[in-house]
Amino acid sequence: MYEVASRTRRINGVDVETWEREIIDANILSVEAGTNGYQGGDTGHGGRTYIRISDEGGTDISARVMKDKYGDTSGIEIALGGDAELSTIIEAFKFITKVLEEGREAAL
Per-residue model confidence as pLDDT tens digits over 10-65: 999 999 999 999 999 999 999 999 999 999 988 889 999 999 999 999 999 999 99
For the stretch 59-83, pLDDT in tens is: 999 999 999 999 999 999 999 999 9
- pLDDT for 7 equals 95
User: In terms of DSSP bridges, do strands 60-67 and 73-81 run parallel, antiparallel, or are they unpaired?
Assistant: antiparallel
pLDDT tier, 108 (very low <50, low <70, confident <90, very high otherwise): low
Nearest alpha-carbon partner for 24 in 6, 3, 39: 3
Confidence (pTM): 0.91
Measured between alpha carbons, how far is 52 from 32 in angstroms, rounded to an integer?
5
C-alpha distances in Å from residue 44, one per residue of 38, 41, 70: 12, 7, 22
